[in-house]
Structure 1
Amino acid sequence: MTHNDDKQPHSVGRELASGVFYTSVAKYAGVVVTILVTAVLARLFTPEEFGVVNIATVIIAFFAIFSDLGIGPAVIQHRNLSRRDLGGIFSLTLWSAVVIALLFFAASGLIASFYDDSAQLRDICRILALNLFFATANIVPNALVMRDKRFRFAAVRSLAVQVVGGAAGIAAAYAGAGIYALTINPVFSSLMLFAINYREYPLRIRLRPSRGAIRKVFSFSAYQFSFQLLNFFSRNLDKLLMGRYMSLSDLGYYDKSYRLMMMPLQNIAFVISPVMHPIFAHMQDDLKKLGESYLKVIRLLAFIGLPLSAVLWFTAEELVLIIFGGQWMPSVAAFRILALSVGIQIVMSTSGSIFQAANATRMLFICGLFSATLNVTAICTGIFAFGTLEAVAWAICLSFAVNFVQCYHALFCLTLRMKWGPFWKSLLSPLLLTAILALALAGLTHLLPAGTPLTAALAAKSAAAAVVWLAYVQLGGVYDLKELAAHLRPGK
């Protein structure tokens, strides 16, 4: 049975709008769930306990890279794979899941010894091996959901899993599970996602994966895997090194600031990125059309992300203290610095989908190699030369800025064979809006009386930012917001 929610032909814009709408509903509802769950758990556990679990999740993400092998995007890109091919590829991921999960379980003792926490960290790693197994087994079924552009189904599924998994984690914490309650959500969620997706796409399991099927996707997936491996190190080396050479409290404070910084990235750009590759993959033979369509996405994301960086800078203290509580005050400075990179990260996070859609995973890997080298240098400089949370945050921000330039030079000039003048031009107006917004928030911050309640200060700054943004965008003729809202409604 073939699954496809979009049986009637649609324009690229309509398909993208429909996918973004459903993904946004799930993500924005999900961020509320995540904030509520995190707010509860942050008051039940100490920064040190969060630091222990964070070490385990970072290492498990590393193991997950070796089980993925870039297969998910390859299944989306190659639309001519037969049912037999898909069964062969699924079997490869399933047996990989068994091997990788067992290796992670066996390595738990060594991991715990490295971080001088032989009991708790070892047991947490062993529990999270289940998360690794189900997440790996889910690669092909989940890719088929996205390849068939079943965005509504994916949205409902993801939100349901977030709610149930978060509730289970909180219940376990109140039931006295201790630090192990922090493992309930990831394990239970990965199990549910696999079960739901496999029910929709029940692929045959083979004792020997099909070599022919693997050869069809190898070239694409090999570079994709190499990029993911590099990206993992560039995104997580800071936490791994801080867990070893700085205190677990520092790691806990830094992790909270980093996670809070990632929330808008995950819930703005990441509602678009999963949708982009399945849709733009149809343009892989028309790079000019691909580039022109992507410029429109960049401009919209810049108008959202760049001003948001200014808002997060001026609301850093209120956000950290309201969401996490007073014990997390040391996270404020690092979060404020990291917030400066939110805008360019929101834009840049979608570039991978375009490299994939253009069959340019080799160029994606080259960009990732440059990015990883720069990030490693920046992180090591912040940790070993200065040894403070703020220094690490500044180093990462500078690295993101340089990588932003090299990434889009490689994408537009070398991959899409376009001039990148239009790219920079698309950023000018969003940058002007960001400057105006920053001046307005700086003035408001100065005018707010000392001792203003945190919620009142956050509400005032958010309202002022919304007024400035809406006035600039609507009155300046940047977008017709009513027309844009109507366009984002999914077609029937």
Structure 2
Amino acid sequence: MRDERDRDTGRTADRAADPPDGIPGNDGPKGAAAGPEGAAGPEGAAAGPMGELGRRVGRGLRWSLLGNLVMKAGSFVMSLVLARLLVPEDFGVFAIALAASQLVIHVNDAGVIAATVQWRGKLEDMAPTATVLAVASSAALYGIFWVIAPYFARLSGSEDATWVIRVLSATNLVYGLTAVRSAALLRRFEQDRLAMANLAGFAVNAAVSITLAAGGAGAFSFAWGQLAGACVTGVLVTFLARLPFRVGFDRAVARRLLVFGLPLCASLGIEGVLLNADSVVVGDALGPVQLGFYLLAFNISSWVPGLVGTAVRYVALPGFSRLAEEDPHSLSEGVRRAVPTLLSVVLPVAVLMGVLAPAVVVFLYGERWAPSAEVLRFLAVVMTVRMLTALAFDVLASLGATRSTVLLNLGWAVAMLPALTAGARLDGIRGAAVAHATVAVLVALPLAALALHRAGVALGSVAASVVRPLAGAAVAAAVMAGLSHLTGGIPLVELCVAGGAGLLAFVLVVVPRAVLRRLGDRMTDLVPARSR
């Protein structure tokens, strides 16, 4: 269920429902903030180094958002259907299998996707060698996990997950075969082609998963659905990339690819631990049923990263990479703009999930999933931090500071693993969520800021730019908490009244009055004169 495959250069979104997104790890180049924002100048003229690049990034981002919006809406509906066809234990078994798959998927291509996107030179010269590296890496890792699947399943608390792991991990073979073609689409900002391939794969994933779930396949319905979707997406990506499928091996090219890719691969491997350690820890400590409740909360908390973050990742690494190559000063300016913009999108949703968690869970999934609500409150905090650290990861990768990404994720993982274990043992799934959120705020955020500072990114002006989003979040939380007590405990009423009022309060605090006034004028202009 974890799609939060925030992957190569990059998941989490709905871990059970989301399809593979055409490249290993499902989420495209990792990162949660927009690429360079410098907009275009007059039509047909570049406004500095950010002009033409800004137009290309903007076009790619629009296609990514459109495709991802459609796919996430379908994924949401699919998750609702599956939650009623399956029991929490099925979700828990699949969560264990997906954790295994995600641990592999982050290192599946040996960093070839990111190295291909950043390649300085002709793509055709390196593609045969890159293909060999990606296929060899994915095949070797699949063989390893085929062997260790029973031990991983036993360690995670459910031996029933063994064959689910083996089926789901086969998607990584598809990712290895299509890695270079996916990277070529990203490199050329052809997100429209990638979106079409992803949507086709999702349609197949949904049809297979729901059909098998209705037929009593349990956790296997997720695994076979994702494998079928990955195959369809892979075929389309190979066709649409317009890159001849040739194999060869050039030692000099391989060396260049691996020098960049392996440190990033190591960092993503650690990130795989970060994204999936909770599944293993909670499953081992509390069993598959409690893990199912935890996983549902994680899926809900991943809606924003899955919708916005995934779409932006398709353009973030190539965009930041080109900008860093042309004008490093503009990269710092892009970071300054991106952080408050990102928070303005994430914080209102995080506040709603945190304050109105019981209403969200019960309204969407039914009363039997109510234990997930206490978990959701704290995973909403983790969601916000993950979006910010994803931005830091993209910026560091664009600067070539891949070793810093290793240190960032390693420090986070070292602190999180014992905290998750202690939290789960002391207070069940709620304790695990509290531990996850605490480490994210107190460890991950400071490490990300330190890594950016050491890489030369100016952060002095960022603090002032986030005051308004943070103030808006505080006001929205107070409004939601106050009104939630007046709704009689009816989930729909609570979400509409308390949630709607809180979101409105956030907008009024965060959006400048001049912008609100212009929006009001435009809305007025749209109303026919006779109806006024």
TM-score (ref. length: structure 1): 0.89
Correspondence 1:165 to 2:202: no
* Counterpart in the other structure of 1:456: 493
* Counterpart in the other structure of 1:52: 93
Amino acid at match of 2:263: Y
What displacement does 1:56 show?
Answer: 0.9
* Counterpart in the other structure of 1:260: 300
- Whether contact under 8 Å (2:111, 2:261) holds in the other structure is yes
* Counterpart in the other structure of 2:84: 43
Q: 1:305 to 1:179 in 2, by over 3 A?
A: closer
Correspondence 1:99 to 2:140: yes
What displacement does 1:474 show?
Answer: 4.1
Amino acid at match of 1:192: V
Distance 2:106 2:460 in 1: 36
* Counterpart in the other structure of 1:25: 66
Amino acid at match of 2:141: I
* Counterpart in the other structure of 2:109: 68
* Counterpart in the other structure of 2:151: 110
What displacement does 1:273 show?
Answer: 2.6
Amino acid at match of 1:344: V
Could you say what secondary structure the match of 1:79 adopts?
A: coil
Distance 1:12 1:426 in 2: 24
Could you say what secondary structure the match of 1:447 adopts?
A: coil
* Counterpart in the other structure of 2:251: 211
Partner of residue 474 from structure 2, selected from 435, 456, 463: 435
Distance 1:221 1:297 in 2: 26
What displacement does 1:479 show?
Answer: 7.5
Amino acid at match of 1:443: G
Alignment of 1:269-308 (within 5 A): 269-285=309-325, 286-308=327-349
How far does the alpha carbon of each residue in 1:12-57 deviate from its partner, in whole angstroms, 9 at most, with x for none? 4333332222211122222211111111111111111111111111
Q: 1:368 to 1:143 in 2, by over 3 A?
A: same
Q: 1:405 to 1:442 in 2, by over 3 A?
A: same
Correspondence 1:133 to 2:133: no
* Counterpart in the other structure of 1:220: 260
- Whether contact under 8 Å (1:65, 1:229) holds in the other structure is yes
Bigger Cα displacement from structure 2, 432-441 vs 8-17: 8-17
Amino acid at match of 1:447: L
How far does the alpha carbon of each residue in 1:114-148 deviate from its partner, in whole angstroms, 9 at most, with x for none? 45644x42221232232121122222111111001
* Counterpart in the other structure of 1:348: 389
* Counterpart in the other structure of 1:424: 463
What displacement does 1:215 show?
Answer: 1.0
Bigger Cα displacement from structure 2, 38-47 vs 466-475: 466-475
* Counterpart in the other structure of 2:23: none
* Counterpart in the other structure of 1:488: none
Amino acid at match of 1:388: G
Q: 1:260 to 1:298 in 2, by over 3 A?
A: same
Distance 1:116 1:305 in 2: 34
Q: 1:461 to 1:79 in 2, by over 3 A?
A: farther
* Counterpart in the other structure of 1:242: 282
How far does the alpha carbon of each residue in 1:281-335 deviate from its partner, in whole angstroms, 9 at most, with x for none? 1122332111111211112111122232211112211221222222111111011
Unaligned runs of 5+ in 2: 1-43, 523-532
What displacement does 1:478 show?
Answer: 6.5
* Counterpart in the other structure of 2:483: 444
TM-score (ref. length: structure 2): 0.83
Amino acid at match of 1:324: Y
Q: 1:302 to 1:480 in 2, by over 3 A?
A: farther
Amino acid at match of 2:506: W
How far does the alpha carbon of each residue in 1:146-180 deviate from its partner, in whole angstroms, 9 at most, with x for none? 00101222223222322331122112222343432
Partner of residue 196 from structure 1, selected from 205, 216, 236: 236
Could you say what secondary structure the match of 1:268 adopts?
A: helix
Alignment of 1:326-345 (within 5 A): 326-345=367-386
Correspondence 1:395 to 2:435: yes
Could you say what secondary structure the match of 2:485 adopts?
A: helix
* Counterpart in the other structure of 1:490: none
Correspondence 1:148 to 2:185: no
User: Equivalent pairs: percent with the same residue?
Assistant: 20
What displacement does 1:424 show?
Answer: 1.0
Unaligned runs of 5+ in 1: 1-7, 486-492
Partner of residue 311 from structure 1, selected from 348, 352, 358: 352
* Counterpart in the other structure of 1:465: 502
- Whether contact under 8 Å (2:157, 2:284) holds in the other structure is no
Q: 1:203 to 1:480 in 2, by over 3 A?
A: farther
Distance 1:481 1:105 in 2: 59
- Whether contact under 8 Å (1:104, 1:126) holds in the other structure is yes
Bigger Cα displacement from structure 2, 219-228 vs 11-20: 11-20
Bigger Cα displacement from structure 2, 320-329 vs 195-204: 195-204
- Whether contact under 8 Å (1:269, 1:347) holds in the other structure is no
Q: 1:129 to 1:393 in 2, by over 3 A?
A: closer
Distance 1:116 1:293 in 2: 45
Q: 1:36 to 1:211 in 2, by over 3 A?
A: same
How far does the alpha carbon of each residue in 1:244-286 deviate from its partner, in whole angstroms, 9 at most, with x for none? 2222111111111112111112212332232111112112233
Correspondence 1:375 to 2:412: no
What displacement does 1:451 show?
Answer: 4.4
Could you say what secondary structure the match of 1:350 adopts?
A: helix
Distance 2:155 2:447 in 1: 36
Could you say what secondary structure the match of 2:85 adopts?
A: coil
Distance 2:515 2:255 in 1: 47
- Matched residue pairs, number? 471
Distance 1:97 1:432 in 2: 46
What displacement does 1:434 show?
Answer: 0.8
Q: 1:251 to 1:25 in 2, by over 3 A?
A: same
What displacement does 1:466 show?
Answer: 3.5
What displacement does 1:480 show?
Answer: 7.8
Amino acid at match of 1:404: L
